[in-house]
Amino acid sequence: MPEHPPTPPVPPGSAGGERSGATDAPPAADPRPPVIDGPPVEGGRSGPADAHPVGDAGPPVFGVRPADDERAELIDALPTGAVGGQPVGADRSTLRLALTVGGLVLAVLLGFGLGRANPGPGTPSATSAAAATADHTHAPGTGAHDHGAGTDQAADSGAGGLSVSSGGYTLTPSAVEFGAGRAGEFRFQVRDERRRPVTRFAVVHDKPMHLVVVRRDLSGYQHLHPTMAPDGTWSVPLTLGQPGVWRAYADFTAVADDGRQTAATLGVDLVAPGGYAPRPLPAPAPTTTVDGFTVGYDGTPEVGRALPLRFTVSAGGAPAALERYLGAYGHLVALREGDLGYLHVHPVATPAGDTVTFWVTAPGPGRYRMYLDFQVAGVVRTAEFTVTVP
């Protein structure tokens, strides 16, 4: 993650540039991002967002607590008389035996619940796995990273966007079918564990919500910024240019009622009916051209190691004058071929001339498609690359 001066909150949907079509050492920690607070739906607070402390980013851990309910069932199961609730036809030894058996049952159930809530070494719980995969945007207070990289995890948890629900939050679209080539609108909510629409988000890299859309063959990449209504519904114009299955990624940091900030990247499939003819990925190449700009990179991502990728942008043989976009001088998304696992990284600092450096750790081997957004003269362009991670 790059270090850059705190950026004041930007109203959802404001433009960072018209779209067409870093130092070499890891940086220090990002400043805490501001919070955008949507208007309450019913009887809530209005006005500017309050400052909230940053808590743990992971979801709460739930255990099994059967004691009270199970005890009630056991007590209710004992036959009672009309006076004082005493057992009918039962002496003290019978009652003692029943209570002893009930106690043993409770002990077994309680032990089972504690075992689920506190797994032994080497056995990650479902909650811890969700927490490991949830942090795929730039959580406040973290340094340069590529969302879960740097450790060897069997489940490839360094890639985000593989689930519609993670970290206690669920992506809920209003509709998932669009006419191919027809202008439409994508509407969705982010809901919490109680199925309530979330209306408070931290502003990360100038926006409270980043939406990336791409077809399953990794073509048709779009990076969009929806706007939020008071009820927590996000909307953005969207056109799926070709028939097929598309993937939409919502990249955000939600703010809970107690101020905890949870970064997450959630994904959902969209469909454009029609004949689907997948396009093969272009062969790996270190340079490409877009709108007269030549963009190249050097470096190769590796599994489990943070390594720099250095991108250069030039026009007519001269270094391009890069401008800040989304709070930085470049924006990089990498998607893995096959499962479309999502990596979202930003440059570590201001560029050295026409060079922007990113620190990237691949979550697993395979072919990736990298999308570099950069801005020159107020226009945002995207350069695409195929890279193979051994």
- Same-domain pairing of 343 and 364: yes
- Same-domain pairing of 171 and 248: yes
Minimal CA–CA distance to 369: which of 215, 166, 239?
Answer: 215
Q: What is the pLDDT of residue 33?
A: 53
- Same-domain pairing of 267 and 228: yes
Where a domain ends, among 249, 272, 295?
Answer: 272
Q: What is the pLDDT of residue 37?
A: 55
Q: Is residue 7 part of a domain?
A: no
- Same-domain pairing of 159 and 49: yes
- Same-domain pairing of 48 and 137: yes
Q: Is residue 361 part of a domain?
A: yes
Task: From residue 326, give the alpha-carbon distance in Å to each of 202, 207, 218, 341.
Answer: 14, 7, 23, 22
Q: Hey, what amino acid is at 337?
A: E
Q: What is the CATH number of the domain that holds 169?
A: 2.60.40.1930
- Same-domain pairing of 161 and 55: yes
- Same-domain pairing of 172 and 266: yes
Q: Is residue 94 part of a domain?
A: yes
Q: Is residue 126 part of a domain?
A: no
Domain total in the chain: 3
Query: How many whole angstroms separate alpha carbon 313 and alpha carbon 347?
Result: 14
Q: What is the CATH number of the domain that holds 366?
A: 2.60.40.10
- Same-domain pairing of 94 and 223: no
Q: Is residue 253 part of a domain?
A: yes
Which positions of the chain have pLDDT values less than 70? 1-157, 349-353
Report residue 194 as tokens.
């109680």
- Same-domain pairing of 75 and 44: no
Residue count of the chain, please give it: 390
- Same-domain pairing of 54 and 187: yes
Report residue 253 as tokens.
């940091």
- Same-domain pairing of 43 and 162: yes
Report residue 72 as tokens.
């009630």
Q: Hey, what amino acid is at 331?
A: H
- Same-domain pairing of 253 and 380: no
Q: Is residue 258 part of a domain?
A: yes
| Cβ atoms within 10 Å, residue 166 | 25
Q: Is residue 181 part of a domain?
A: yes
Q: What is the pLDDT of residue 100?
A: 52
Where a domain ends, among 226, 243, 272?
Answer: 272
Q: Is residue 21 part of a domain?
A: no
- Domain range for 79 is 67-117
